[in-house]
Amino acid sequence: MTFISYAQNFEDIRLWRALKYYENGFYIDVGANQPVSDSVTKAFYERGWTGINIEPLQVYYEALCQDRPKDINLQCVAGETAEALTFYAIAGTGMSTLEPSVAKERLEAGMDVRSQTVQSRTLSSICEEHVKGPIHFLKVDVEGHEETVLRGMDFTQWRPWIILVETPWTRDQTWEQLLIDAGYHPVLFDGLNTFYLAEEQLHLKGAFDLAPCNMDEFQFCYGHKFSYPVSDLEQALQAERQRADRAEAELHALRNSRSWRAVEKLKRVLLRA
């Protein structure tokens, strides 16, 4: 079965290479965003995996509930404590944030930033309520809120095999020591994310040594940013459909015209003659 990749930077392919021999696995997606576009977990869900999706935005949460009925979908944010927080939403993007400084930068860049109140929960409390077995991977994409997410997780009790954290352009993060102290080893920086392996799972390290390639037998999903742009083709198809609709309407109008009926009547007279 060909692997269909939905993630924006090959994340799901790298994870699948390491974890494909484990059936009915489990994931936690912090900052899940949309259930399909750029999703790290969609391909796993299609293969029978389930997990927890944490997403504060109403529109994405509802989409996750509809697309992922077998998952546990939580409308909240993950943090260091349980409290109400101000969340800066940027609709239609994956750039919403809890960090006021990041929100200010994006507002100054012309983005439509709107604040709302959201509930925060610790990852430990979420795991205590919902996790019954191993966590095969934990993905964190929270636009500057990474440290508070990680501080809310008891890594002595809950041990995701693989952790990937979005760290655009650089993996030199002040919070990385939290993971290192918890027994996690950085094994890959792909330009967008840093991948960490639990020390008891270092036998999986070889899966991250090579970049995704033809041997992974994958294809991109329809409309993926790395695929040929489909928007031009869709626009051309739409234009052809509109032209066909106009032609059909003109033919219908012609057939209902007096001249057409007169010609048809003359044809029947000539045929009888």
Tell me, yes or no, whether 216 and 237 share the same domain: no
Tell me, yes or no, whether 195 and 251 share the same domain: no
Tell me, yes or no, whether 142 and 15 share the same domain: yes
The confidence score (pLDDT) of residue 91 equals 72
Tell me, yes or no, whether 38 and 104 share the same domain: yes
Has residue 226 been placed in a domain? Answer: no
Q: What is the DSSP letter of 221?
A: P
Range of the domain at 119: 3-220
Tell me, yes or no, whether 183 and 71 share the same domain: yes
Q: Indicate the pTM of the whole model.
A: 0.80
Tell me, yes or no, whether 211 and 237 share the same domain: no
The confidence score (pLDDT) of residue 104 equals 80
CATH code of 49's domain:
3.40.50.150
Which tens digit of pLDDT belongs to each residue from 165-208? 999 888 889 999 999 999 999 999 999 999 999 999 999 999 99
Tell me, yes or no, whether 190 and 255 share the same domain: no
The confidence score (pLDDT) of residue 241 equals 80
Tell me, yes or no, whether 144 and 268 share the same domain: no
Has residue 214 been placed in a domain? Answer: yes
The confidence score (pLDDT) of residue 203 equals 97
Q: Are residues 74 and 131 in contact, defined by beta-carbon separation less than 8 angstroms?
A: no
Residues of the chain with pLDDT under 50: none
Has residue 144 been placed in a domain? Answer: yes
Q: Map 104-166 to HEC letters.
A: HHHHHCCCCCEEEEEEEECHHHHHHHHCCCCCCEEEECCCCCHHHHHHCCCCCCCCCCEEEEE
The confidence score (pLDDT) of residue 29 equals 98
* Number of domains observed in the structure of the chain: 2
The confidence score (pLDDT) of residue 263 equals 65
Tell me, yes or no, whether 166 and 33 share the same domain: yes
Tell me, yes or no, whether 181 and 69 share the same domain: yes
Has residue 43 been placed in a domain? Answer: yes
The confidence score (pLDDT) of residue 231 equals 67
> Which residues lie below 8 Å from residue 89, measured CB to CB, with a gap of 6+?
56, 57, 96, 113, 114, 115, 116
3-class DSSP state of 17: helix
The confidence score (pLDDT) of residue 33 equals 92
Has residue 238 been placed in a domain? Answer: yes
User: Mean pLDDT in the chain?
Assistant: 89
